[in-house]
């Protein structure tokens, strides 16, 4: 039983690797909106399977820590292994998604054939800043009430929703995200959030008190309520809600 948390962490890493394989195997698909401008999206199901495996990795990442605390078997080895898995599943894999989206975005332009691979390279800043965020977390004083900077799994799961937003195009957002400059802006904001000094609440409940855990309850409740209305947009909505509620919540230093 004492090895179960590490097995779950390795499952997280395994899913991250599978996600990368699916994403790299995806190809852009050209769509034409009734004679209007042609757009390119990540067209086949490979990218969407990649998103699903990132989300499975997120579930395993949530449970490995819970199981470790439940069994009382937390160790430096498990902590380091968790960080290595996270940088792959929520850093490298999401970077691959953004890279493919930048590729599809630049293909809309007449000079697409001349676009350098360097135009896609900013996507890998997600992995780099994610690794920095994890290293800083591992070398910071332990706290159970808040994170400093947005955790890399939150970034990875948000980016994992992008191919589905790209496909279903809710409220026209999917096609808007085909603009490479919007993607560069998204990269910059996500990277900054990971290394910022913003204090964000954790999902660890303090006893069984709604008053003490109101921010966690509000976040979970509003996220669940948004699902039938926003569908795939519920994921980025939940991400933005998490940040907004963290500003409203004043965590203790305990």
Asked if residues 112 and 28 have their Cβ atoms less than 8 Å apart, the reply is no
pLDDT at residue 210 greater than cutoff 70: no
Residues 36-69: tens digit of each pLDDT: 555 566 655 778 899 999 999 999 998 887 787 7
Structure tokens at 243: 């940040």
How many angstroms separate the Cα of 102 from the Cα of each of 28, 45, 130, 187, 192?
10, 18, 19, 11, 19
Q: Give the pLDDT of residue 176.
A: 84
Q: Give the pLDDT of residue 177.
A: 85
Structure tokens at 202: 């954790």
Asked if residues 126 and 98 have their Cβ atoms less than 8 Å apart, the reply is yes
Average pLDDT over residues 64-83: 81
Asked if residues 154 and 119 have their Cβ atoms less than 8 Å apart, the reply is no
Of the options 3.90.1720, 1.10.287, 1.25.10, 1.20.120, the CATH number for the domain spanning 4-204: 1.20.120
pLDDT at residue 83 greater than cutoff 80: yes
Q: How far apart are CA 72 and CA 66, in angstroms?
A: 10
Residue 31: band (very low, low, confident or very high) from pLDDT cuts 50, 70, 90: low
Task: Kindly list the domain boundaries of the chain, sorted by start residue.
Answer: 4-204
Asked if residues 241 and 222 have their Cβ atoms less than 8 Å apart, the reply is yes
Kindly report the backbone phi and psi dihedral angles of residue 201, in degrees, each rounded to the nearest multiple of 5, phi listed first. -65, 155
pLDDT at residue 34 greater than cutoff 60: no
Residues 129-155: tens digit of each pLDDT: 999 999 998 887 766 667 889 999 999
Q: How far apart are CA 93 and CA 89, in angstroms?
A: 5
Q: Give the pLDDT of residue 48.
A: 85
State how beta strands 199-201 and 38-42 pair.
unpaired
DSSP-based three-state secondary structure for 89: helix
Element (H, E) at 32: strand 28-32
Q: Give the pLDDT of residue 93.
A: 96
pLDDT at residue 185 greater than cutoff 50: yes
Mean pLDDT of the chain: 85
pLDDT at residue 254 greater than cutoff 70: no
Q: How far apart are CA 9 and CA 58, in angstroms?
A: 10
Q: Give the pLDDT of residue 39.
A: 57
């Amino acid at each position: 039983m004492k090895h179960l948390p590490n097995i779950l962490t390795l499952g997280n890493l395994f899913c991250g690797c599978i996600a990368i394989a699916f994403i790299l195997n995806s190809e852009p698909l050209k769509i034409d909106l009734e004679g209007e401008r042609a757009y390119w999206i990540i067209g086949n199901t490979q990218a969407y399977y990649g998103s699903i495996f990132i989300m499975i990795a997120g579930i395993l990442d949530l449970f490995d820590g819970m199981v470790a605390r439940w069994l009382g078997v937390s160790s430096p080895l498990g902590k380091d292994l968790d960080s290595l898995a996270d940088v792959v599943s929520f850093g490298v894999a999401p970077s691959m998604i953004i890279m493919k989206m930048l590729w599809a975005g630049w293909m809309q332009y007449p000079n697409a054939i001349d676009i350098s691979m360097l135009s896609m390279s900013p996507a890998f800043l997600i992995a780099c800043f994610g690794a920095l965020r994890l290293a800083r977390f591992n070398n910071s004083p332990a706290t159970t009430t808040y994170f400093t900077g947005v955790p890399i799994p939150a970034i990875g799961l948000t980016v994992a929703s992008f191919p589905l937003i790209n496909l279903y195009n809710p409220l026209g957002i999917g096609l808007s995200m085909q603009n490479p400059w919007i993607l560069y802006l998204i990269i910059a904001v996500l990277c900054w959030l990971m290394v910022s000094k913003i204090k964000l609440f954790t999902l660890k409940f303090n006893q069984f008190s709604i008053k003490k855990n109101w921010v966690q309850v509000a976040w979970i409740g509003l996220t669940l309520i948004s699902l039938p209305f926003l569908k795939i947009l519920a994921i980025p909505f939940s991400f933005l809600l998490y940040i907004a509620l963290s500003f409203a919540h004043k965590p203790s230093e305990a």
